[in-house]
A and B are shown apart, each in its own frame.
Chain A
């Protein structure tokens, strides 16, 4: 039964992250209409928001989900498989580790999200920079790109948190009901 539940959790998490990966692209597209200068400095990470909330709400290892969804994001957005995947996988490992030590409330979840955005974005930038896919200097990244990414993703998280939590809680309730039957 546990194995079956894990299977369901895997696909549920994958579906949610997949949707948010597509939404991230859509938001990036719309944001450039308002201000290209600002939008060009933000890395939209709604997918990471789902991963963070999932890690706190469901006690399962999401490494597999992170790898599969990372591959999907890489194929769809850049065509270079591995960059998003590696960054997402490392962030999933970090979240799995940090969740053990923190209580489950909004402040700690948003703090973890803040840290995971920093880790994800920095690894992603590091690989891109190493491969020559960007000419953004490390100083420029730390001074402009990272703060903008953190700030806008914080608002993004606040908007997404409640609906995300409701969906996950609903899923958990249904899973528990089926287990009782």
Chain B
């Protein structure tokens, strides 16, 4: 009869394999169910964060330098375009102020303190990005001490770029909206057509060939046009209503015309950002 523990190396390999598998399963459970990671992981993340400042700072400076150069080149052209928009903006600004005041008064009359579209902002700098090409994860320099909570949406420029997937004391991880991970939380979104009809759906992933986000889970007869705005619907979780995701870029009929695949061109460059804004919804906090 062969001895049960005859090959030490094999036993070590087996135990290591079981430990590694257990560790992966445990980590995925934490990501899916827990509000924040365990204290030890948080602490490790914070210690790494402090040292990463020193290592990442030259890189950030370099990137900012490049940004500065590119921006300088395009300044003149942008200036011409912006001059034309200034008058219109001033008009819009006055209009917004009047509408905001009116909205506040109406909310007061209805005794509504806050709605799905009310939020405050937390600005953060991007520290690093996952070196693995299929993990669209950013690390930002704001954590729970700054009021960051799990699943908060993150914006850059005028569009949504992702959501907070892990919160530590001093830093947080952001999962980009372009993530194709099957365990990622997807954004509930809606399209408002020119006729004012609303179509609800979910941002299900990112198409590399189209270089656009995919607005899925849609089965509607409503006519959608290229250029229609796609915004967050405010349903499910802590994402406020009305954050701009992008504009409809392409519409494709799938499954013999039973479902519609909508490609959304992001409102912002989802790959180039140094500073991001974390959105904190007023309702539900």
Contacts and interface: CB of A to CB of B under 8 A. Distances in A.
A24 B59 contact: no
Contacts of B63: 29-30, 33
B137 interface: yes
Given A72-B44, A79-B27, A32 B272 contact: yes
A25 B182 contact: no
Given A33-B66, A128-B134, A75 B59 contact: no
Interface stretch (A37-45, A105-113, A163-171, A172-180): A37-45
A56 interface: no
B129 A32 contact: yes
Interface string A66-86: 000000101111111111011
Contacts of A43: 131-133
B24 A127 contact: yes
B128 A29 contact: yes
Given A33-B272, A134-B134, A28 B129 contact: yes
Interface string B19-60: 011011011101100000100010011001001100110111
A133 B129 contact: no
Nearest to A124: B132
A40 B182 contact: no
A132 B134 contact: no
Contacts of B74: none
Contacts of A80: 24, 27-28, 31
Given A25-B139, A86-B20, A136-B180, A78 B59 contact: no
B58 to A, nearest CB: 8
A6 B126 CA distance: 37
A91 interface: no
B67 interface: yes
B150 to A, nearest CB: 11
B183 A26 contact: no
B181 interface: yes
A57 B216 CA distance: 53
Contacts of A151: none
Contacts of A21: 131
B167 to A, nearest CB: 11
Interface string A5-37: 000000000000011011111111110110011
B11 interface: no
B56 A25 contact: yes
Given A33-B272, A81-B23, A131 B28 contact: yes
Nearest to A25: B128
B278 interface: no
Contact of A82 (B23, B130, B208, B272): B23
A29 B59 contact: yes
Contact of B134 (A36, A79, A86, A125): A125
B135 interface: yes
A117 to B, nearest CB: 12
Interface of B: 16, 20-21, 23-24, 26-28, 30-31, 37, 41, 44-45, 48, 51-52, 55-56, 58-60, 62-63, 66-67, 126, 128-135, 137-139, 165-166, 173, 180-183, 205, 208, 211, 269-272
Top 3 A-B pairs ranked by shortest CB distance? A36-B271, A132-B182, A25-B128
